[in-house]
Amino acid sequence: MTGTHLPYNFHNDQSDVISARFKGPQGSFKLDAAFTLPAAGITALFGPSGCGKTSVLRCIAGLNAMKEGFFSLKGGIWQDQSRFLPAHKRPVGYVFQEASLFPHLSVKQNLVYGQKRSQPLSPSDTARLDQDDVIELLGIGPLLQRSPNKLSGGERQRVAIGRALLSCPSILLMDEPMAALDRFSKNEILPYLERLHDELKIPILYVSHDISEVERLADQMVLMQQGTVKAAGPLQSLLSNPDLSLARMPDAASVLGGTLSAMDDAFGISTIMVSGRPFYVPGVKGPIGHPIRLRIEASDVALSRHMPEGSSSILNTPSVTIETIQPFGDHMANIFLTLGEDLDRQTLIARISNKSLHALDLRTGDRLQAMIKSVSMVR
Protein backbone atom coordinates (compact mmCIF):
# COMPACT_ATOMS: atom_id res chain seq x y z
CA MET A 1 0.00 0.00 0.00
CA THR A 2 1.46 3.34 -0.98
CA GLY A 3 0.18 6.83 -0.29
CA THR A 4 -1.55 7.86 2.89
CA HIS A 5 -3.60 5.11 4.43
CA LEU A 6 -4.81 5.70 7.92
CA PRO A 7 -6.34 3.11 10.22
CA TYR A 8 -9.94 3.15 11.33
CA ASN A 9 -9.40 5.09 14.52
CA PHE A 10 -7.15 8.00 13.78
CA HIS A 11 -7.01 11.37 15.46
CA ASN A 12 -4.83 13.56 13.30
CA ASP A 13 -6.03 16.68 11.51
CA GLN A 14 -8.70 15.73 9.03
CA SER A 15 -9.85 19.19 8.04
CA ASP A 16 -8.54 18.91 4.47
CA VAL A 17 -8.96 15.24 3.71
CA ILE A 18 -11.42 12.66 2.51
CA SER A 19 -11.10 9.57 4.63
CA ALA A 20 -12.95 6.39 3.74
CA ARG A 21 -12.97 2.84 5.01
CA PHE A 22 -15.64 0.37 3.99
CA LYS A 23 -15.51 -3.29 4.85
CA GLY A 24 -18.12 -5.96 4.43
CA PRO A 25 -19.68 -8.51 2.10
CA GLN A 26 -21.85 -7.75 -0.88
CA GLY A 27 -23.18 -11.14 -1.99
CA SER A 28 -20.08 -13.21 -2.65
CA PHE A 29 -17.95 -10.07 -3.16
CA LYS A 30 -15.92 -8.72 -0.24
CA LEU A 31 -15.21 -5.02 -0.06
CA ASP A 32 -12.31 -3.96 2.15
CA ALA A 33 -11.32 -0.55 0.86
CA ALA A 34 -9.64 2.30 2.72
CA PHE A 35 -8.01 5.53 1.64
CA THR A 36 -7.23 9.00 2.93
CA LEU A 37 -6.48 11.71 0.40
CA PRO A 38 -6.61 15.51 0.11
CA ALA A 39 -10.20 16.73 -0.29
CA ALA A 40 -9.39 18.70 -3.40
CA GLY A 41 -9.29 18.31 -7.16
CA ILE A 42 -10.25 15.13 -8.99
CA THR A 43 -9.58 11.75 -7.43
CA ALA A 44 -9.93 8.84 -9.85
CA LEU A 45 -11.14 5.48 -8.54
CA PHE A 46 -9.46 3.23 -11.06
CA GLY A 47 -9.34 -0.53 -11.51
CA PRO A 48 -10.71 -3.43 -13.57
CA SER A 49 -14.38 -4.18 -13.98
CA GLY A 50 -15.93 -5.61 -10.81
CA CYS A 51 -13.15 -4.46 -8.44
CA GLY A 52 -15.58 -2.40 -6.33
CA LYS A 53 -15.34 1.17 -7.62
CA THR A 54 -19.09 1.76 -7.82
CA SER A 55 -19.54 0.03 -4.45
CA VAL A 56 -17.20 2.59 -2.85
CA LEU A 57 -19.15 5.49 -4.39
CA ARG A 58 -22.43 3.98 -3.21
CA CYS A 59 -21.02 3.60 0.31
CA ILE A 60 -19.98 7.25 0.29
CA ALA A 61 -23.44 8.26 -0.89
CA GLY A 62 -24.97 6.22 1.95
CA LEU A 63 -26.67 3.87 -0.53
CA ASN A 64 -24.72 0.80 0.66
CA ALA A 65 -24.30 0.30 4.38
CA MET A 66 -21.26 -1.89 5.07
CA LYS A 67 -20.75 -3.79 8.31
CA GLU A 68 -17.74 -1.62 9.09
CA GLY A 69 -17.75 1.85 7.67
CA PHE A 70 -16.09 5.17 8.22
CA PHE A 71 -16.37 8.27 6.11
CA SER A 72 -15.32 11.81 6.82
CA LEU A 73 -15.00 14.82 4.58
CA LYS A 74 -12.99 17.82 5.76
CA GLY A 75 -13.42 16.75 9.35
CA GLY A 76 -17.17 16.18 9.14
CA ILE A 77 -17.95 12.55 10.00
CA TRP A 78 -20.77 11.05 7.95
CA GLN A 79 -20.48 7.60 9.44
CA ASP A 80 -18.48 5.65 11.99
CA GLN A 81 -19.15 2.89 14.52
CA SER A 82 -22.04 4.79 16.09
CA ARG A 83 -23.30 7.14 13.38
CA PHE A 84 -24.80 6.68 9.92
CA LEU A 85 -26.01 9.74 8.07
CA PRO A 86 -28.82 8.53 5.79
CA ALA A 87 -28.40 8.92 2.04
CA HIS A 88 -30.91 11.77 1.70
CA LYS A 89 -28.95 13.84 4.23
CA ARG A 90 -25.55 13.38 2.61
CA PRO A 91 -24.54 16.43 0.57
CA VAL A 92 -23.35 14.53 -2.50
CA GLY A 93 -23.94 15.22 -6.16
CA TYR A 94 -24.13 11.86 -7.96
CA VAL A 95 -23.62 11.58 -11.71
CA PHE A 96 -24.24 8.16 -13.21
CA GLN A 97 -23.03 6.49 -16.38
CA GLU A 98 -26.34 7.23 -18.09
CA ALA A 99 -27.81 10.65 -17.38
CA SER A 100 -31.04 9.95 -15.52
CA LEU A 101 -32.97 13.07 -16.49
CA PHE A 102 -36.74 13.28 -16.26
CA PRO A 103 -37.93 12.92 -19.87
CA HIS A 104 -41.21 14.80 -19.25
CA LEU A 105 -39.38 17.88 -17.93
CA SER A 106 -37.37 20.41 -19.93
CA VAL A 107 -33.65 20.86 -19.29
CA LYS A 108 -34.43 23.93 -17.19
CA GLN A 109 -37.05 22.07 -15.13
CA ASN A 110 -34.57 19.24 -14.58
CA LEU A 111 -32.07 21.77 -13.23
CA VAL A 112 -34.69 23.36 -10.97
CA TYR A 113 -35.49 19.88 -9.62
CA GLY A 114 -31.82 19.57 -8.58
CA GLN A 115 -32.05 22.90 -6.78
CA LYS A 116 -35.19 21.94 -4.89
CA ARG A 117 -33.47 18.92 -3.42
CA SER A 118 -30.55 20.90 -2.08
CA GLN A 119 -29.90 20.33 1.61
CA PRO A 120 -26.49 21.72 2.47
CA LEU A 121 -25.05 20.26 5.65
CA SER A 122 -22.32 22.78 6.03
CA PRO A 123 -22.85 25.61 3.56
CA SER A 124 -19.23 26.76 3.71
CA ASP A 125 -18.04 23.52 2.15
CA THR A 126 -20.56 23.16 -0.62
CA ALA A 127 -20.26 24.04 -4.31
CA ARG A 128 -22.54 27.07 -3.72
CA LEU A 129 -23.17 27.73 -7.39
CA ASP A 130 -26.32 29.43 -8.52
CA GLN A 131 -28.22 28.39 -11.59
CA ASP A 132 -26.57 30.98 -13.84
CA ASP A 133 -23.07 29.89 -12.74
CA VAL A 134 -23.87 26.26 -13.47
CA ILE A 135 -25.44 27.04 -16.84
CA GLU A 136 -22.39 29.08 -17.81
CA LEU A 137 -19.87 26.57 -16.45
CA LEU A 138 -21.37 23.71 -18.42
CA GLY A 139 -22.38 25.67 -21.53
CA ILE A 140 -26.01 24.52 -21.34
CA GLY A 141 -27.71 27.91 -21.88
CA PRO A 142 -28.87 27.10 -25.43
CA LEU A 143 -30.40 23.80 -24.25
CA LEU A 144 -32.66 25.07 -21.46
CA GLN A 145 -36.01 24.80 -23.22
CA ARG A 146 -35.28 21.45 -24.83
CA SER A 147 -36.54 18.05 -23.78
CA PRO A 148 -33.83 15.61 -22.60
CA ASN A 149 -34.87 13.34 -25.50
CA LYS A 150 -33.64 15.98 -27.92
CA LEU A 151 -30.10 16.16 -26.49
CA SER A 152 -26.94 14.34 -27.52
CA GLY A 153 -25.36 11.96 -24.99
CA GLY A 154 -22.71 14.55 -24.09
CA GLU A 155 -25.31 17.31 -23.66
CA ARG A 156 -27.44 15.05 -21.44
CA GLN A 157 -24.42 14.35 -19.22
CA ARG A 158 -23.65 18.07 -18.94
CA VAL A 159 -27.23 18.69 -17.78
CA ALA A 160 -26.97 15.78 -15.32
CA ILE A 161 -23.77 17.29 -13.91
CA GLY A 162 -25.50 20.67 -13.67
CA ARG A 163 -28.41 19.15 -11.80
CA ALA A 164 -26.03 17.43 -9.39
CA LEU A 165 -24.14 20.68 -8.77
CA LEU A 166 -27.31 22.63 -8.03
CA SER A 167 -28.02 20.40 -5.06
CA CYS A 168 -25.15 22.25 -3.25
CA PRO A 169 -23.01 19.15 -2.80
CA SER A 170 -19.88 19.01 -0.64
CA ILE A 171 -18.50 16.32 -2.94
CA LEU A 172 -19.29 15.32 -6.52
CA LEU A 173 -19.40 11.56 -7.20
CA MET A 174 -19.10 10.67 -10.88
CA ASP A 175 -19.53 7.03 -11.90
CA GLU A 176 -18.02 6.56 -15.36
CA PRO A 177 -19.84 9.61 -16.69
CA MET A 178 -18.39 9.13 -20.16
CA ALA A 179 -18.66 5.36 -20.48
CA ALA A 180 -21.84 5.51 -22.55
CA LEU A 181 -20.52 8.23 -24.88
CA ASP A 182 -18.89 7.84 -28.28
CA ARG A 183 -15.44 9.30 -28.90
CA PHE A 184 -16.89 12.50 -30.39
CA SER A 185 -19.14 13.16 -27.37
CA LYS A 186 -16.28 12.33 -24.99
CA ASN A 187 -14.08 14.92 -26.64
CA GLU A 188 -16.92 17.41 -26.39
CA ILE A 189 -17.46 16.86 -22.66
CA LEU A 190 -13.82 16.60 -21.50
CA PRO A 191 -13.15 20.36 -21.60
CA TYR A 192 -16.21 20.87 -19.37
CA LEU A 193 -14.87 18.33 -16.88
CA GLU A 194 -11.58 20.23 -16.90
CA ARG A 195 -13.48 23.43 -16.16
CA LEU A 196 -15.16 21.74 -13.21
CA HIS A 197 -11.73 20.78 -11.99
CA ASP A 198 -10.41 24.31 -12.32
CA GLU A 199 -13.43 26.20 -10.99
CA LEU A 200 -15.16 24.01 -8.39
CA LYS A 201 -14.08 24.23 -4.80
CA ILE A 202 -15.44 20.80 -3.93
CA PRO A 203 -13.60 17.50 -4.43
CA ILE A 204 -14.66 15.17 -7.23
CA LEU A 205 -14.45 11.38 -7.01
CA TYR A 206 -14.39 10.04 -10.54
CA VAL A 207 -14.82 6.32 -11.31
CA SER A 208 -13.22 5.14 -14.51
CA HIS A 209 -11.57 2.14 -16.05
CA ASP A 210 -10.23 4.22 -18.92
CA ILE A 211 -6.65 5.16 -18.08
CA SER A 212 -6.52 7.89 -20.74
CA GLU A 213 -9.39 9.71 -19.00
CA VAL A 214 -7.63 9.34 -15.67
CA GLU A 215 -4.30 10.59 -17.06
CA ARG A 216 -6.04 13.66 -18.39
CA LEU A 217 -8.32 14.56 -15.52
CA ALA A 218 -7.12 13.19 -12.20
CA ASP A 219 -4.87 14.75 -9.59
CA GLN A 220 -4.97 11.70 -7.35
CA MET A 221 -5.80 8.09 -7.83
CA VAL A 222 -7.21 5.27 -5.76
CA LEU A 223 -6.07 2.07 -7.46
CA MET A 224 -8.47 -0.77 -6.68
CA GLN A 225 -8.20 -4.51 -7.13
CA GLN A 226 -10.66 -7.20 -6.01
CA GLY A 227 -12.39 -5.04 -3.43
CA THR A 228 -9.20 -3.62 -1.91
CA VAL A 229 -7.19 -0.45 -2.39
CA LYS A 230 -3.74 -1.30 -3.73
CA ALA A 231 -2.51 2.29 -3.57
CA ALA A 232 -3.79 5.81 -3.11
CA GLY A 233 -1.87 8.98 -3.84
CA PRO A 234 -0.84 11.52 -6.46
CA LEU A 235 -1.52 10.33 -10.02
CA GLN A 236 2.03 10.77 -11.26
CA SER A 237 3.64 8.80 -8.47
CA LEU A 238 1.22 5.89 -8.89
CA LEU A 239 1.69 5.74 -12.66
CA SER A 240 5.46 5.57 -12.26
CA ASN A 241 5.56 3.18 -9.30
CA PRO A 242 7.38 -0.03 -10.32
CA ASP A 243 5.51 -1.97 -7.62
CA LEU A 244 2.09 -1.30 -9.12
CA SER A 245 0.31 -2.84 -12.09
CA LEU A 246 -0.07 0.52 -13.86
CA ALA A 247 3.49 0.50 -15.22
CA ARG A 248 2.87 -3.00 -16.58
CA MET A 249 -0.12 -2.02 -18.72
CA PRO A 250 0.48 -2.42 -22.51
CA ASP A 251 0.08 1.34 -22.98
CA ALA A 252 1.89 2.37 -19.77
CA ALA A 253 2.85 6.02 -19.80
CA SER A 254 4.43 8.71 -17.66
CA VAL A 255 2.52 11.87 -16.92
CA LEU A 256 4.82 14.83 -16.36
CA GLY A 257 3.92 18.24 -14.99
CA GLY A 258 5.47 21.25 -16.67
CA THR A 259 5.06 24.94 -17.40
CA LEU A 260 4.57 26.60 -20.76
CA SER A 261 7.62 28.82 -21.19
CA ALA A 262 7.74 29.82 -24.89
CA MET A 263 5.84 29.48 -28.15
CA ASP A 264 7.56 29.45 -31.53
CA ASP A 265 5.01 30.54 -34.13
CA ALA A 266 7.28 29.81 -37.11
CA PHE A 267 7.40 26.06 -36.42
CA GLY A 268 4.35 25.80 -34.14
CA ILE A 269 6.46 24.25 -31.40
CA SER A 270 6.12 25.27 -27.77
CA THR A 271 8.65 24.90 -24.99
CA ILE A 272 7.42 23.29 -21.79
CA MET A 273 9.81 23.29 -18.84
CA VAL A 274 9.68 19.95 -17.02
CA SER A 275 11.90 19.47 -13.97
CA GLY A 276 14.19 22.23 -15.23
CA ARG A 277 14.50 20.77 -18.74
CA PRO A 278 12.91 22.06 -21.93
CA PHE A 279 10.48 19.80 -23.77
CA TYR A 280 9.46 20.80 -27.29
CA VAL A 281 5.86 19.95 -28.10
CA PRO A 282 3.82 20.91 -31.18
CA GLY A 283 0.49 22.66 -30.97
CA VAL A 284 0.52 23.73 -27.31
CA LYS A 285 -0.97 27.19 -26.83
CA GLY A 286 -1.80 29.23 -23.77
CA PRO A 287 -0.50 31.89 -21.44
CA ILE A 288 3.21 31.73 -20.62
CA GLY A 289 3.62 30.19 -17.18
CA HIS A 290 0.49 28.05 -17.59
CA PRO A 291 0.75 24.55 -16.08
CA ILE A 292 0.80 21.82 -18.73
CA ARG A 293 0.47 18.09 -18.27
CA LEU A 294 2.40 15.92 -20.74
CA ARG A 295 1.96 12.23 -21.48
CA ILE A 296 4.80 10.10 -22.75
CA GLU A 297 4.14 6.47 -23.60
CA ALA A 298 6.85 4.15 -22.28
CA SER A 299 7.29 2.50 -25.69
CA ASP A 300 8.01 5.93 -27.24
CA VAL A 301 11.14 6.38 -25.11
CA ALA A 302 14.49 5.06 -26.39
CA LEU A 303 17.78 5.27 -24.51
CA SER A 304 21.30 6.03 -25.60
CA ARG A 305 24.65 6.42 -23.85
CA HIS A 306 25.56 9.34 -26.13
CA MET A 307 23.33 11.67 -28.07
CA PRO A 308 25.28 14.43 -29.78
CA GLU A 309 23.13 17.54 -30.27
CA GLY A 310 21.56 18.02 -33.70
CA SER A 311 22.15 14.50 -35.02
CA SER A 312 18.57 13.29 -34.91
CA SER A 313 15.07 14.36 -35.87
CA ILE A 314 13.95 13.66 -32.32
CA LEU A 315 13.24 16.92 -30.51
CA ASN A 316 13.25 15.72 -26.94
CA THR A 317 16.45 14.14 -25.63
CA PRO A 318 16.63 14.91 -21.89
CA SER A 319 19.40 13.57 -19.65
CA VAL A 320 18.09 10.96 -17.24
CA THR A 321 19.35 8.62 -14.53
CA ILE A 322 18.27 5.00 -14.17
CA GLU A 323 16.34 4.48 -10.95
CA THR A 324 14.96 0.96 -11.38
CA ILE A 325 15.10 -1.76 -14.03
CA GLN A 326 12.14 -4.13 -14.09
CA PRO A 327 11.44 -7.09 -16.40
CA PHE A 328 8.32 -6.72 -18.54
CA GLY A 329 7.12 -9.96 -20.08
CA ASP A 330 9.71 -12.36 -21.52
CA HIS A 331 11.59 -10.05 -23.82
CA MET A 332 11.19 -6.48 -22.59
CA ALA A 333 12.12 -4.30 -19.64
CA ASN A 334 10.64 -1.20 -18.03
CA ILE A 335 13.34 1.31 -17.15
CA PHE A 336 12.31 3.92 -14.55
CA LEU A 337 14.30 7.09 -15.14
CA THR A 338 14.75 10.18 -13.01
CA LEU A 339 14.41 13.58 -14.65
CA GLY A 340 15.58 16.63 -12.72
CA GLU A 341 17.03 16.97 -9.25
CA ASP A 342 15.89 16.88 -5.62
CA LEU A 343 12.40 18.25 -5.07
CA ASP A 344 11.90 18.85 -8.78
CA ARG A 345 12.36 15.18 -9.72
CA GLN A 346 9.89 13.37 -11.93
CA THR A 347 9.92 9.81 -13.26
CA LEU A 348 9.91 8.85 -16.92
CA ILE A 349 9.36 5.22 -17.96
CA ALA A 350 11.08 3.69 -21.00
CA ARG A 351 10.12 0.26 -22.33
CA ILE A 352 12.96 -1.34 -24.26
CA SER A 353 13.91 -4.84 -25.40
CA ASN A 354 16.08 -7.12 -23.29
CA LYS A 355 18.43 -7.20 -26.28
CA SER A 356 18.98 -3.41 -25.98
CA LEU A 357 19.20 -3.67 -22.20
CA HIS A 358 22.10 -6.08 -22.57
CA ALA A 359 23.71 -4.38 -25.57
CA LEU A 360 23.88 -1.10 -23.63
CA ASP A 361 24.74 -2.93 -20.39
CA LEU A 362 22.30 -0.70 -18.48
CA ARG A 363 22.53 -0.52 -14.69
CA THR A 364 20.84 1.40 -11.90
CA GLY A 365 22.46 4.82 -11.46
CA ASP A 366 23.65 5.09 -15.10
CA ARG A 367 23.30 8.54 -16.64
CA LEU A 368 21.81 8.43 -20.16
CA GLN A 369 20.10 10.41 -22.88
CA ALA A 370 16.42 9.58 -23.31
CA MET A 371 15.15 9.97 -26.87
CA ILE A 372 11.43 10.63 -26.83
CA LYS A 373 9.64 9.96 -30.11
CA SER A 374 6.30 11.43 -29.17
CA VAL A 375 5.02 13.73 -26.44
CA SER A 376 1.38 14.72 -26.16
CA MET A 377 -0.29 17.34 -24.07
CA VAL A 378 -3.12 15.88 -22.03
CA ARG A 379 -4.08 18.99 -20.09
- Contact residues: ligand ATP, CB under 6 A: 26-27, 29, 47, 49-55, 209
C-beta nearest to ligand ATP: residue: 27
How long, in residues, is the chain? 379
Are 333 and 350 within 8 A, CB to CB? no
Measured from the CB atom, the residue of 52 and 318 that comes closer to ligand ATP is 52
Of the chain, the end-to-end C-alpha distance in Å amounts to 28
CB of 55 to ligand ATP, least distance (A): 3
CB of 45 to ligand ATP, least distance (A): 8
CA distances from 22 to 36, 77, 222 (A): 12, 14, 14
Measured from the CB atom, the residue of 47 and 153 that comes closer to ligand ATP is 47
Q: Are strands 291-297 and 204-208 parallel, antiparallel or unpaired?
A: unpaired
CB of 211 to ligand ATP, least distance (A): 13
CB of 205 to ligand ATP, least distance (A): 12
Are 205 and 173 within 8 A, CB to CB? yes
CB of 50 to ligand ATP, least distance (A): 4
Distance in angstroms (rounded) separating the CA atoms of residues 49 and 176: 11
Measured from the CB atom, the residue of 50 and 123 that comes closer to ligand ATP is 50
Measured from the CB atom, the residue of 14 and 55 that comes closer to ligand ATP is 55
Measured from the CB atom, the residue of 54 and 79 that comes closer to ligand ATP is 54
CB of 54 to ligand ATP, least distance (A): 3
Measured from the CB atom, the residue of 51 and 151 that comes closer to ligand ATP is 51
Distance in angstroms (rounded) separating the CA atoms of residues 13 and 134: 32
The residue ranges of DSSP E strands in 318-366, in sequence order, are 319-328, 332-339, 346-353
Which one, of 219, 223, 363, 213, lies nearest residue 303 by Cα? 363
